[in-house]
Chains A and B, each alone.
Chain A
Amino acid sequence: MPDWRLLVTRRVREISPHETLDPDTVEELAQHLRDRYDELRTGGMPQDAAVEATLQEWADEEWRDAPRRQPPRRPGPATIHDLSSSGSVVTDAWRDVRHGWRLLGRNPGFGATVVLTLAFGIAATTIAFTVINTLLLTPLPVTDADRLVTIGTREPADAGDAGTYLPLSFPNLEDVQGRSTSFQSLAGYAGPFGVTLTDRTPARRIFAELVTATYFDTLGLAPLMGRFMLPGEDDIPGAHPVLVLGHAAWQGRFAGRADILGQTIEINGTAFTVVGIAPPGFKGLDPIFGPDVWIPSMMTPQLVPLERRHWLTDRAALSFSAVGRLRSTVSVDQAAADVTGIAAQLEREFPVANRGRSVSVEPVSRRSLMGISPQMAVLGSFAILTIPGLVLLIACSNVASLVLTRAAARGQEIAVRLSLGAGRSRVLRQLLTEHALLGFLSGAVGLSAAWAGAHLLWSFRPPEYAQNLVDLSVDGSVVVFAIGISVLTTLVFGLAPALHAVRPNLAAALTDDTRTAGHGRRTTRWQQALLVGQVALSLTALATAGVVLQGLQRAYAIDPGFERQQLGVIMLNPGQAGYDDDGAERLYQTIRERVAAVPGVVSVSWASNLPLFTGPSRKIATAGGTPLGSGDGVLTVVNTVDVEYFTTAGVTIGRGRAFDEGDRRDAQPVAIINETLARRYWNGRNPIGDRIALLGDEVPRRIVGIAATVNYDEVGEPPQACVYVPLSQHMTDAVVLYVRTAAEPGPVLATVQREIQRLDDRLDVADARTIQTVLDQALFGRIMGSRLLAVFGFLALALASLGIYGVVAYTVHLRRREMGVRLALGAEPNAVLRLVLRQAFRLVSLGAGVGLVGAIGASAIVSSIVYGVSPVEPVSLVGAAIVLAAVAFVASFLPARAASRLDPVSVLRTH
């Protein structure tokens, strides 16, 4: 057989010596001749005759005369990807990936849009998961956490609403430790609470946790440096001032100094020796907030405020949480039975303190969030994931829509492949590979964005607490989650369009006529379905954000019962600065006088409680004439307040009187109760003049006044009982200065801080807050939650508006011929505009209808979590619908207007 390439090259050179053909053209011409020759040979023609006949195909004069040029060379690879199977799945897959990559490179706009849209949704979901992972899923950094249990006191059901989890009293803890046989090791811990570093100027606050010597052994931890406390260092009260420094605190507050071991740190005026550094990553058992230092429980009197100094000896004071490591042969249930038995013994032996009290034993994992039940945690996690999940779904459907549009554009390419003999499954695999590639890229970008976003979120932590707060755990499970979400995403956005694409009408697709093929129409139906979904999802997200915002607004509107404008507070710990009772009393008096003289100050007083941050702490032992058993008394908020407290804080005294200078230490002990408590025990009778005693009080107090019930622990909380006792009769060395001002409290507080510092620079006055700040802090969770929801809601809306725009624009594109005809037949441009808008809004209303149902469902869930929100919030629902309608209008107006401005002549000419 002749070499046809050589023949073509020679002939051309002979005819036109200056012409050189490019190899592709030579190849193509030679191919033609070869085909002809093969055909003739197959027909049975002898070789020589076949060559002869093939050469007839070449006419020199034709070539010479033909006007021609070099065939155009296209930029980039012009070869359609070979979809015949190579026989090896791996080879095919690799080829598909390379091809997919080339396609992306050829259409970077499409790729970037898809990847960014999806990455955005993936990042949002992954950030939410990171938060959940950090708070709920990351196991404690201890050995065999599944063998650890917590032991808590269980109060009788009617004792108050402080939650089911309560610590043990220290004497009970010691008895359980001594009598129980279920544990390898049992430890108690209390805190973390604020203490003052008194060897610094100005004094600074850190957080300490009191632990029994068994604490670190029970958790199975080893020190990074030095040692933990020894049993001998936790046996005599006040005898061994040693501490273990947390790793983050060592790095942060002490600059990681290697020579820190053996040095002393002065806390609350006592010099503590640093004996060891805790391992990195361990911040105590509370999942959110950890201490800077651990101190032996026997140092309790040196660390806690005056009114808690009885902790080590008071069997009624629930002060120490307990954690135990089970013996290898003991189950949680067996341990629970064992400890419950001991609790029953202790109740018999100490009926006054322990009456009605039992214990609960639970795996440590079960109470990873203080006071939040596992069910609530799961529900909360779902709530946290819902909105980003919706955003991701919208992103997916946007991308699916985009992919469908592109599939319609690529219908011909796919049809060519199918017509060239590629199997449908092979083409499907190629398309899925392309989508998987997009999914993988989105996942990678999304995970990086989530990593950055979560760290950004975490960087908003208040710097003074940053090292106490839990570290963000972006660990393997977050990566697995992001990968899982990406795969799921890919399936959601990629599968349907791919299946759809390999099923087109071949002939119609090959002729590339979306107008007649119906392929475009079918694509549009898909997109319309997706659009309805998007509208529904974004309405759900928006309305939910609105519901939470409304709840927040309501929370701010709630009257907490005290002054909300011209009030400031400063935290003060004279005990930690070395003051004894008498010293503190004199100090309070002096400060009150000095501060009252500061310009702008209306009144000033002291109290033990910060507004909105103090829950019920003590039980009523006697109310009226009848002594109550330990189990029967209501758990009540106790606030120790100085004279002028009620006028300064703006709490109304309904009946009786406020405290005055006559309520001295040596005078008749008095108390003021709130209306809730009055109703609880006096039920319409006048309690004034009656007696009341708190558990542990030696002498009952006489009730002199009834104060209005205010919010003590949380904005909008259910009414709680409260007992006020005068500071002069219940000295405490950790107090809050209340300053009522004539105008904005901020500047006045600064003057007051300077005034106190001038009096004694050992006093830490850094923690000063206006009442507005206190309110903001009390509502911090809700503020953050509603902001996040609002951000997500608007992002969902932005994505949906893109989706609406895309679908309407595409529909208009497909129907521009029809529009052109209408316009040519004399339709008003406005009629065309209305036509497009009407059709867009039919979809939008359908989506909104579905979305409203979803929104009501979502609000029902939210209302079970957020206080003050009802399942159906018309304002939020209607508001979200209006916002959505406005956005949908703009998004569909643009393409609609474009349709109404079509030039019928040019449209009809091209069609």
Chain B
Amino acid sequence: MNPAKDDREWKKGSAELLILSILEDRSRHGYEIGKLIDTRSAGTLHFRVTSLYPLLYRLEERALVEGRWVEKAGQRRRRYYRLTRTGRALLGRQRRSWKAFVEAVGRVTGIDYA
């Protein structure tokens, strides 16, 4: 089995949850989002530009996040994303079901998460 392809499949299922979680406490621009996922997962999870942005645009289309261009003096303008109310609600629900899912997988496979 191709580990890279595996990786991609896992991410597909969890990508939404990851991005929404990253945006939970403040608004961030795209590079920052990718970087944070990378850092927090200690390099296990990595989004390339070609997967991250289509995902962000899709989330925006579904009104889960909201992007805005922000200008700061002496810097290039950047697009910041923040959670919408719907996004926040979805995040809560996904967290719960993800937790339930992981626990269930753990019980079946005998992997101990504790």
Contacts and interface: CB of A to CB of B under 8 A. Distances in A.
B79 A24 contact: yes
Contacts of B77: 79
B53 A32 contact: yes
B49 A32 contact: yes
Contacts of A84: 72-74
Given A69-B61, A72-B60, A82-B73, A910 B25 contact: no
A32 B76 CA distance: 12
Interface in A9-39: 24-25, 28-29, 31-33, 35-36
Given A510-B27, A512-B88, A80 B68 contact: yes
A97 to B, nearest CB: 17
Interface string A408-425: 000010001001110000
B103 to A, nearest CB: 24
A87 to B, nearest CB: 9
A66 B50 contact: yes
B73 A58 contact: no
A82 B71 contact: yes
Contacts of A28: 30, 53, 79
B100 interface: no
B98 to A, nearest CB: 20
Given A31-B31, A510-B26, A82 B72 contact: yes
Interface in B36-90: 48-55, 57-58, 60-61, 67-74, 76-80, 82-83, 85, 88-89
B86 to A, nearest CB: 10
B71 A57 contact: no
A910 B88 CA distance: 10
A33, A63, A85, A513 pick with most chain B CB within 10 angstroms: A63
A420 B67 contact: no
Nearest to B77: A79
Interface in A563-597: none
A72 B61 contact: yes
Interface residues of A, number: 41
Contact of B54 (A67, A420, A510): A67
* B-side interface mostly: mixed
B79 A59 contact: no
B24 interface: yes
Interface in B83-114: 83, 85, 88-89
B31 A29 contact: no
A442 B55 CA distance: 46
A58 B69 CA distance: 23
A883 interface: no
Contact of A35 (B31, B55, B69, B73): B31
A743 B15 CA distance: 94
B41 to A, nearest CB: 17
B30 A32 contact: yes
A368 to B, nearest CB: 58
Contact of B48 (A24, A57, A78, A420): A57
A71 B67 contact: yes
B47 to A, nearest CB: 9
B72 A421 contact: yes
A62 B24 contact: no
A515 B14 CA distance: 28
Q: Determine which residue in A28, A82, A420, A513 has the highest number of CB atoms from chain B within 10 A of its CB, and name it.
A: A28
Nearest to B74: A84
B29 to A, nearest CB: 8
B70 A66 contact: no
A507 interface: yes
A349 interface: no
Contacts of B67: 71, 78
A63 B53 CA distance: 9
B48 to A, nearest CB: 5
Contact of B68 (A29, A79, A86): A79
A511 B73 CA distance: 26
B53 A29 contact: yes
A760 interface: no
A78 B68 CA distance: 6
Nearest to A30: B49
B55 to A, nearest CB: 7
A35 B43 CA distance: 18
Contacts of A62: 48, 50-51
B72 A420 contact: yes
A68 B69 contact: no
A660 interface: no
Given A35-B31, A82-B72, A910-B89, A71 B49 contact: no
A161 interface: no
Contacts of A57: 48-50
A60 interface: yes
A72 B57 CA distance: 8
Contacts of B27: 416, 510
A71 B56 CA distance: 9
Contacts of A420: 70, 72
Contacts of B78: 31
Nearest to A70: B57
Given A72-B60, A79-B70, A511 B24 contact: yes
A256 to B, nearest CB: 63
B58 A510 contact: no
Interface in A40-94: 56-60, 62-63, 66-72, 78-80, 82, 84-86
Nearest to B8: A62
B64 to A, nearest CB: 13
A416 B29 CA distance: 13
Given A58-B50, A66-B51, A511 B25 contact: yes
B85 to A, nearest CB: 7
Contact of B53 (A25, A35, A78, A82): A25
A910 B77 CA distance: 34
B48 A86 contact: no
Contacts of A56: 48
Contacts of B48: 56-59, 62
A24 B56 CA distance: 14
Contacts of B68: 78-80
Interface string A221-265: 000000000000000000000000000000000000000000000
A58 B54 CA distance: 13
A56 B38 CA distance: 15
B54 A66 contact: yes
Given A35-B31, A78-B69, A84-B73, A512 B50 contact: no
Nearest to A56: B48
A512 B31 contact: no
Nearest to B30: A32
B68 to A, nearest CB: 5
A420 B50 CA distance: 27
A58 B57 contact: no
Interface centre among B31, B55, B58, B76 (most CB of A within 10 A): B31
A36 B51 contact: no
Contacts of A86: 73
Please provide the 8 A-B residue pairs with the shortest distance between their CB atoms, ordered closest to farther: A66-B54, A68-B54, A62-B50, A84-B73, A63-B50, A35-B31, A82-B71, A79-B69
8 contacts: A24-B69, A32-B49, A63-B54, A69-B57, A80-B71, A80-B80, A412-B82, A511-B24
Interface of A: 24-25, 28-29, 31-33, 35-36, 56-60, 62-63, 66-72, 78-80, 82, 84-86, 412, 416, 419-421, 507, 510-513, 910
Given A24-B79, A31-B76, A35-B31, 14 more contacts: A28-B79, A29-B49, A29-B53, A32-B30, A32-B31, A36-B31, A60-B50, A66-B54, A68-B58, A69-B61, A70-B57, A72-B61, A416-B26, A512-B83
